[in-house]
Amino acid sequence: MDLTWSGSEEAFRAEAREWLATHVPTEPLPSGDTRAGFDRHLEWERELFAAGWSVVSWPKEYGGRDASLWEWLIFEEEYYRAGAPQRVTQNGIFLLAPTLFEFGTKEQRDTLLPRMAAAQDLWCQGWSEPGAGSDLAGIRSRAERDDEAGGWRLTGQKTWTTRGAFCTHLFGLFRTDAAAQRHRGLTYFLVPLDTPGVTVRGFERLDGDEGFAEVFFDDAFVPDSAVLGEVDQGWQVAMATTGSERGLTLRSPGRFLRAADRLVELAAAHPEAAADPLVDWVTEVWMQSQAYQLFTLAQVTDMVEGRSPGARSSLNKLYWSELDIRLHEAALELLGPQGQTDNPWSRGFLFSLAGPIYAGTNEIQRNIVAERLLGLPRK
């Protein structure tokens, strides 16, 4: 693997760094999981789009820059280095969009991607249900064919839809063949949340953020054009989305490289707390952040050469979710009693605890690694 950057890639980095240095908000934005904060974040993301930075690796016709995956990684590094705000459009841009590029029709891509890039259509993920969390194949929400109307009628409930209270659209799985085996008979739908028969009910988390929502479907009609991929083949389409969610697009290494650097800065600012074992801890997680970047570079090399990550995306998810917790635990140890107050590190720690759960619990990811990568038997 060549770990050096080309002249054009370094020029891309310099351009991104210069733009971010003059445009990133000087004061942190409110949480994107509150209504007021979400609106502020949208203002920022629309500014990104206007300057051509919201989806750098997409084709220009959809609002991108035709940047390579390497350049996307560079931009992500610079984005986090600049302390730029969290991306509240990430479920659409980082999860749904790669699936649209792979499975969508030209009409779907031409219609949906430009509005997604411009933060006009805002997408939430309709995976979890009251009886189906990590067991995605256990979903019960159904879609029944309406031949006369030329579409489908959706019934059921989705829950834990991140920022669903603020979004305009939902992507998710519905059962279209009740007699089929668990992983079969599922279809992937793209649903406007203002569709008659769809009810969005927001609710607060324990920390007071209000973006989570339950979404109810009561005979909600969607046309055939709302199907992504083939009818009854939704599992394959959904696995492409989960590969993005568990892999590098949702949690690029730039996020952890910057967090590790901030941790080192925190240790330098608290020398009285930096006893030898804690110094070792900070050093270890800094090295682990560097290791995650190297793993990602190897993965992108495979992708550029036409090899899909497949089940290896579960390795990504295991690594970044547990690294996130270790980073924040080290910070709280450095802060001592101050770490128990409301501050960016304590809030980050609370959020990191969800990492081993969302995007597929780590217990499930370890089963995938054991069976599909190591070839171990189920029992």
Which residues are tagged catalytic?
A: 245
Give the C-alpha separation, 33 to 164, whole Å: 10
In this structure, which amino acid lies at residue 125? Q
* Furthest CA-CA distance within the chain: 74
Q: Is the dihedral of CA 48, 97, 122, 163 positive or negative?
A: negative
Token output for 156: 């059921």
Pairing of strands 169-175, 123-126: parallel
Question: Coil, strand, or helix at residue 152?
Answer: strand
Question: Coil, strand, or helix at residue 197?
Answer: coil
Give the C-alpha separation, 15 to 371, whole Å: 44
In this structure, which amino acid lies at residue 328? H
Contact 177, 232 (CB under 8 A): yes
Pairing of strands 186-192, 169-175: antiparallel
Q: CA of 54: how far to CAs of 79, 254, 294, in Å?
A: 11, 16, 24
Q: Could you tell me which of 185, 163, 165, 161 has the C-alpha nearest to residue 174?
A: 185
Give the C-alpha separation, 207 to 249, whole Å: 26
